[in-house]
């Protein structure tokens, strides 16, 4: 069972295709949107019915992107266990915020499973029928979070089905596990064939033939065989025979499985038709369209996805886990990570193009067909962005910019967004929160080729960054020569504590109005990397999606009071920020204890349940603590501290050394190599109140390449 030659492209197609299906179905997801109402209001869903500025986070993408990290963090030798996936749930989900629907214990399957885990019920009992009953255990989540487990197991349906079942068992049981097995197996088989019947039969062969999941598939096929042109009639059959009154709960898997099979059969192997039918049927439209989209996109490849659906997604989605850095997801880069896992799981040597993942930096090479890596133009009349090919070597992909009408005073920005604020979104789905992916001190480099057709003077190219408070900082000035590649490099300037939300370059006309510039610009190998050193001025922070930017909070009280942030808590509470992959990192803050016994900084936090904590820990005591799904004290030292007094605390992680400085003096240092990268942050594991201000952060992105330690 080898890796397909076009594995990378198919994984990219599969995950991008899923994201498109989710976005297409989201506006008509609520249960009130049945088939007839959708038809009355929108007709057949053959376009995005809402023009989202940026599509907000969704549970259907949160789960596949975060739960697959069980293979990175905990699975060993390629063997996945329910407990591995359960740790991903606890480590990356902020209780009550984002990730999935927090509808209450005994109401939301995921919320129920999460609270079971928090209260000591191990997976898979956390999601079992024995623990939660048949209704809760068999809702739709069993199949909507598992697509990536199929993508990392190409051409091996049996293993893909097993991984899907393991992942789903944290929260589901019974028919929920059948759904996970079916879709993971179907995705895996789609790497080998585009024959829809073969794909479906392979998936069905790996589930219980006495199950309702299997039976609803056969019922849909039988109706389709008799009425091959009447998908609406088939949907009415599902309303009659497989409806939610027979399968109760908030979103049972069986009625939705029926819609998935309807879309697959009546879509007849066509990606676009399949997702459009899935959305036009009603039921849980974003879930169903997302699942069938992954299968069809893998089977047919990236060329099957039309531009009308690709362009608004623009290769970028956002998530809502605990890491603000990981929450900004570049689809091509994530696809490469999935491919890396696929090779590792099969025990096959990783090809050179997959070894260098450049984790911890932004790297956009535009090699995948049609890829844009989220780049935008500030003025689409002056500049249109599309994927292109190197003018000197057509086999290499680039970003192509068509520009026209440029004269002196005309400016257009070409940029990537490394940070988002609430105003970038049209809605508040699943409450995303973000950490900056580009910071002061880092290096920006890219290659540029100017194929300028008109204009006596050359086009001006100015590297720049822009902040959320509206400040634009020009960092370099260039006049690239026509007809050749030019390397442009600049250092990200000091933003005085403001958060960067655009990085890129300005195109500036330098000619007279009568002598306008027109032509094509090609961009390749856009890279942001290296050490960053920056401040966070909390007086400039505001609350977006429930978190003070640029922090991601756990779910207790954090509020801004002047220049300080107050944390009032009755249990463990932290705010995290920074580069998730930072190996070297330091965080310095003013810390003013208000009440309680703990006031801590965090280093190398790999989530809520993993990281180092340093600071005041009991009367006249400082500690270095390690959290690895349980707190261990690594070291302690005497230090007399007082309530109401402000201390300048600095925590530093370098190689295997973890150190704490207070008011400029090193107080305690230990060596530990359990965690070699992670976020920074601050908070406490116990009840109390603390005030924090004037943050200074240093990170070395490291461009991590050592996945050899993982899997």
Q: Beta-carbon neighbour count of residue 582 at 10 Å?
A: 26
Alpha helices in 169-211 (DSSP H): 175-190, 196-205
Determine the Cα–Cα distance for residues 71 and 148; give it in Å rounded to an integer. 11
User: Could you tell me which of 681, 664, 693 has the C-alpha nearest to residue 613?
Assistant: 681
Residue, of 407 and 9, whose pLDDT is higher = 9
Report yes or no: 282 and 35 within 8 Å, Cβ to Cβ: yes
Q: Between 82-92 and 157-168, two packed helices, what is the crossing angle to 10 degrees? A: 50
- Condensed to tens digits (0 to 9), the pLDDT of residues 131-159 reads 999 999 999 999 999 999 999 999 999 99
Confidence of residue 709 (pLDDT cuts 50, 70, 90): very low
Lowest mean pLDDT among 113-127, 167-181, 287-301, 541-555: 541-555
Instruction: Report whether pLDDT(77) > 90.
Output: no
- Residue 550 confidence (pLDDT) above 80: yes
| Strands 485-491 and 443-454, bridge-based pairing | antiparallel
Whether residue 392 is predicted with pLDDT greater than 50 in this model: the reply is yes
- Top pLDDT among 482 and 357 is at 482
pLDDT at 511: 84
pLDDT above 70: percentage of residues in the chain: 98
At which residue do the structure tokens 């049609």 appear?
A: 370
Q: What pLDDT band is residue 356 in, cutting at 50, 70 and 90?
A: confident
Cα–Cα distance, 700 to 530 (Å, whole number):
6
pLDDT above 50 for 707: no
Strand locations in 455-579, DSSP E? 460-467, 472-474, 485-491, 500-508, 517-529, 531-536, 543-544, 547-548, 552-553, 557-561, 564-569, 573-577
The encoded tokens of residue 186 equal: 């179907």
Q: Which DSSP symbol is given to 621?
A: E
Residue 704 pLDDT: 43
Helix (H, G, I), strand (E, B) or coil at 641: coil
How many other CB atoms are found less than 10 A from the CB of residue 686?
A: 17
Query: Rounded to whole angstroms, how far apart are CA atoms 526 and 448?
Result: 9
Per-residue pLDDT for 355 more than 80? Answer: no
Q: What is the mean pLDDT of the chain?
A: 95
Q: Which residues contact 671 (CB under 8 A, 6 or more apart)?
A: 656, 657, 658
User: Given this model, what pLDDT does residue 39 score?
Assistant: 97
Q: pLDDT at position 702, please? A: 62
Whether omega for the bond prior to residue 85 falls within 30 degrees of 0, making it cis, is no
In tens, the pLDDT along 570-595 reads 999 999 999 999 999 999 999 999 99
The whole-number pLDDT of residue 567 equals 97
pTM of the shown model: 0.96
- The answer for 26, left when phi > 0, alpha when psi is -120 to 50, beta otherwise, is alpha
Q: How far is CA 408 from CA 232, 382, 478, 512, in A?
A: 58, 13, 15, 6
For the record, the structure tokens of 340 come out as 């890396």
Q: How far apart are CA 578 and CA 576, in angstroms?
A: 7
């Amino acid at each position: 069972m080898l890796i397909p030659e076009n594995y990378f492209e198919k994984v990219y197609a599969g995950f991008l295709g899923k994201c498109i299906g989710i976005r297409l179905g989201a506006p008509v997801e609520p249960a009130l949107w049945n088939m007839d109402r959708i038809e009355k209001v929108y007709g057949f869903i053959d376009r995005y019915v809402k023009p989202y500025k940026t599509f907000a986070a969704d549970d259907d993408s949160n789960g596949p992107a975060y739960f697959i990290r069980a293979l990175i963090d905990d699975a060993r030798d390629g063997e996945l266990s329910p407990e591995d996936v359960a740790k991903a749930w606890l480590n990356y989900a902020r209780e009550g915020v984002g990730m999935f629907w927090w509808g209450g214990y005994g109401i939301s399957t995921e919320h129920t499973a999460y609270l079971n885990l928090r209260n000591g019920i191990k997976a898979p009992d956390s999601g079992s029928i024995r623990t939660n009953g048949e209704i809760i255990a068999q809702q739709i989540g069993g199949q909507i979070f598992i697509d990536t487990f199929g993508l990392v197991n190409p051409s091996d349906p049996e293993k893909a089905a097993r991984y899907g079942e393991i992942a789903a068992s944290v929260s589901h049981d019974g028919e929920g596990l059948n759904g996970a097995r079916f879709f993971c197996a179907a995705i895996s088989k789609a790497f080998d064939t585009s024959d829809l019947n073969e794909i479906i039969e392979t998936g069905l062969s790996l589930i219980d033939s006495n199950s309702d999941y299997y039976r609803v598939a056969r019922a849909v096929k039988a109706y389709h065989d008799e009425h091959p042109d009447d998908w609406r009639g088939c949907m009415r059959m599902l309303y009659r025979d497989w409806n939610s009154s027979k399968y109760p709960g908030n979103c049972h898997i069986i009625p939705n499985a029926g819609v998935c099979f309807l879309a697959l059969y009546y879509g007849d192997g066509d990606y676009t038709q399949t997702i459009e039918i899935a959305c036009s049927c009603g039921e849980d439209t974003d879930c169903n369209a997302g699942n069938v989209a992954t299968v069809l996109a893998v089977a047919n490849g990236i060329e099957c996805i039309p531009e009308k659906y690709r362009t608004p997604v623009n290769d970028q989605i956002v998530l809502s886990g605990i890491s603000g850095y990981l929450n900004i997801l570049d689809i091509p880069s994530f696809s490469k990570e999935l491919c890396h896992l696929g090779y590792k799981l099969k025990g096959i040597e990783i090809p050179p193009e997959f070894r260098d993942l450049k984790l911890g930096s932004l790297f956009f090479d535009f090699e995948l067909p049609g890829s844009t890596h989220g780049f935008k133009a500030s003025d689409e009349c002056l500049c249109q962005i599309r994927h292109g090919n190197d003018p000197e070597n057509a086999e290499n992909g680039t970003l192509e910019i068509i520009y026209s009408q440029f004269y002196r005073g005309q400016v257009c920005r070409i940029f990537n967004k490394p940070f988002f604020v609430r105003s970038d979104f049209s809605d508040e789905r699943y409450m995303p929160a973000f950490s900056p992916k580009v910071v002061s001190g880092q290096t920006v480099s890219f290659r540029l080729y100017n194929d300028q057709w008109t204009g006596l003077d050359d086009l001006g190219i100015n590297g720049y960054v822009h902040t959320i408070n509206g400040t634009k900082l020009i960092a370099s000035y260039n006049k690239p020569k026509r007809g050749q590649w030019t390397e442009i490099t600049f250092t990200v300037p000091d933003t005085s504590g403001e958060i960067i939300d655009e990085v890129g370059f300005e195109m500036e006309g330098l000619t007279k109005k009568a002598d306008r510039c027109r032509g094509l610009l090609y961009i390749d190998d856009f890279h942001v990397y290296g050490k960053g050193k920056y401040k966070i001025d909390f007086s400039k922070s505001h609350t977006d999606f429930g978190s003070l930017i640029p922090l991601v909070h756990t779910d207790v009280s954090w509020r801004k009071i002047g220049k300080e942030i107050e944390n009032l808590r009755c249990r463990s509470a932290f705010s995290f920020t920074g580069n998730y992959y930072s190996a070297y990192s330091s965080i310095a803050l003013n810390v003013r204890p208000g009440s309680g016994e703990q006031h801590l900084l965090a280093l190398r936090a790999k989530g809520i349940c993993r990281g180092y904590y340093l600071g005041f820990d009991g009367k006249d005591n400082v500690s270095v603590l390690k959290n690895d799904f349980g707190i261990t004290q690594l070291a302690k030292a005497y230090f007399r501290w007082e309530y109401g007094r402000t201390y300048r605390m600095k925590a530093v992680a370098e190689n295997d050394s973890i150190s704490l400085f207070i008011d400029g003096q090193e107080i305690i240092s230990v060596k530990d190599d359990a965690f070699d990268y992670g976020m920074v942050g601050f908070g406490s594991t116990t009840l109390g109140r603390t005030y924090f201000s004037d943050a200074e952060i240093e990170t070395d992105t490291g461009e991590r390449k050592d996945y050899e330690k993982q899997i």
